[in-house]
Chains A and B, each alone.
Chain A
Amino acid sequence: MRKKEDLKTVRKTVLMTEETANSIDREAEERGIKANSVMNERLDHPERDNTPAKMVEFQNFANEAVHLLAQHSPDEAKYLETRANKLWSF
């Protein structure tokens, strides 16, 4: 069950340009999700430079780097891992 505060229960009518509407529909189709989810994501995360998909890709590089570095310098590897973790914010 979703948490009460996560439930989407408020209905609002929003006017937008055709271009914005098309952009929302296109993204929804590409990602296989509802247009409603796309709109919510854009509203909740207006600065969309950092997305989970990008962070996951970054973390894969970080894991590889930490793994390689740990063989030669465990302390530096630990430092690198901690720094990488600090970048996890949206």
Chain B
Amino acid sequence: MVILTQKRITDNGDGKGYFRNCIDYLYKEKPEPGEELVLIRSFGVSCYHPKHTYDQMLAVKKYFGKTGDNPVMHFVVSFDNSVQDADKACHYMYRIALSFAEDYQVVYVVHKEDQDGSKYHGHIIVNTVNYKNGKLYHSGWKELGDLAMYIHEITGNYCKPIIKKPDEK
């Protein structure tokens, strides 16, 4: 079973905080003990420098005058033990991230970490401001359910959606 977790951010204060921390986290080679970065990629935004990623997402927010709303959507996809190699995990994460790329800037990573039978998991950070029309991404159970269904389709495994607060383990 694949676990899809959405970290829900409700207040970002001055537009930095969680938004900037999230992006910095993606670039860490060893985010946690026993965990290592396998891949970092993006659509519509740089994936080579954390400040550039942050600035380019913020530029889109500023263009549409939406710097104060929920800054980013943070999804974590934990693959089950059917995903045993990095190539497969990277391919799945590419397809999941691509599903946002038509309307939103997105940066994603693949991490390797042995955890409860899961060897790989990925993080996806999506700019909540649509780069075509400035509309905010609507983050509800329906959208999360649709994403879980899509992950089920591409992986062939049931995907369980969960919503958590940013600091909730």
Residues of A within 8 A of B (CB): 1-3, 6, 31-33, 37, 40-41, 44-45, 51-53, 55-57, 59-60, 62-63, 66, 77-78, 81-82, 84-85, 88-90
Offer 13 A-B interface pairs, CB within 8 angstroms, sorted by A: A2-B66, A37-B134, A44-B63, A44-B65, A52-B64, A53-B132, A56-B60, A60-B43, A63-B46, A81-B46, A85-B49, A88-B55, A88-B59
Do A63 and B47 touch across chains, with their CB atoms under 8 A apart?
A: yes
Contact digits for B62-80, partner A, Cβ 8 Å, 1 yes 0 no: 1111111100000000000
Do A32 and B135 touch across chains, with their CB atoms under 8 A apart?
A: yes
Beyond A60-B43, A60-B44, A85-B46, whether A45 also contacts B63 by CB under 8 A is yes
Q: A41-B64, A85-B49 are in contact. List 14 more A-B contacts (CB 8 A).
A: A1-B69, A2-B69, A3-B67, A6-B68, A32-B133, A45-B63, A55-B131, A56-B43, A56-B105, A60-B43, A62-B46, A81-B46, A89-B59, A90-B63
Do A1 and B68 touch across chains, with their CB atoms under 8 A apart?
A: yes
State the CA gap A90–B44 with chains docked (Å).
Answer: 15
Contacts of B63 in A (CB 8 A): 44-45, 51-52, 90
- Among A37, A51, A59, point to the contact of B46 (Cβ < 8 A): A59
Contacts of B81 in A (CB 8 A): none
Contacts of A77 in B (CB 8 A): 48
Interface SS, B side: loop
Contact digits for B87-111, partner A, Cβ 8 Å, 1 yes 0 no: 0000000000000000001000000
**Least CB distance, B35 to chain A, in whole angstroms:** 24
Tally chain B residues at the interface, Cβ within 8 Å.
Answer: 30
**Least CB distance, A63 to chain B, in whole angstroms:** 6
State the CA gap A53–B59 with chains docked (Å).
Answer: 12
Q: Is B42 an interface residue (CB 8 A)?
A: yes
Q: Is B143 an interface residue (CB 8 A)?
A: no
Contacts of A88 in B (CB 8 A): 52, 55-56, 59
| CB closest residue in chain B, given A86 | B52
Identify the interface centre among B49, B68, B69, B133: most chain A CB within 10 Å of its CB: B133
| CB closest residue in chain A, given B60 | A52
Contacts of A62 in B (CB 8 A): 46
Contacts of A3 in B (CB 8 A): 15, 67-68
State the CA gap A32–B133 with chains docked (Å).
Answer: 7
